[in-house]
Structure 1
């Protein structure tokens, strides 16, 4: 009887430990930037709206995944863009790959922040940016 209780307690403790470990798994981030002129960059590559899905697929299929790793699309867009345009962009990205993904949207004042060009992601490091809800 004592061995059974010890085994059950050990199993519960192990389950809690491994459940926390799987929740803390890393995400593979794909960063997309859309400036006020509707120019889109996937990471540092300038792409047309028709090619954005292919660029995302390329990044995902060439990435070595870990077990339970999620994909997080981080979309940085100028705050003055129509939400419908941003959502259309998201739809094209999700058409490329939509299994086990998360989306984060950031609305920025890209002109005021002077963010654009192939090194746009490095320029963001100096700002405290929070995802937009909804």
Structure 2
């Protein structure tokens, strides 16, 4: 199974998220889940399960410097810090703390990309 997980860690979350919609449209065979720092524990549990059970997964983290903190996203981030074959983490936006956390883990397949390039990276990795 292939998966795409979109995690929004921003001060203001939006209901409409273009990137997950584009992934659903262009890669219909990929399981897509989007969450934010306000998501409840059940949704967080599904996100962890999706990451652990997929053969190939892309986790895309949209963040900005004004985000109040990592809060409820920490269990997911801890899972993403683990080295796992077939996993790519994309960071969209500027979040110095997250960037340092990922850069300190060279075993993790991680890239910081511009939002307009994210779909191309997802397709390149999953196809």
TM-score category of the 2 structures, normalised to the smaller one: 0.3 to 0.5
**Greater relative CO, 1 or 2 (CA 8 Å, sep 6+):** 2
Q: What TM-score results when the alignment is normalised by the length of structure 1?
A: 0.37
Q: What TM-score results when the alignment is normalised by the length of structure 2?
A: 0.38
Q: Considering only CA atoms, is the larger Rg found in Structure 1 or Structure 2?
A: 1
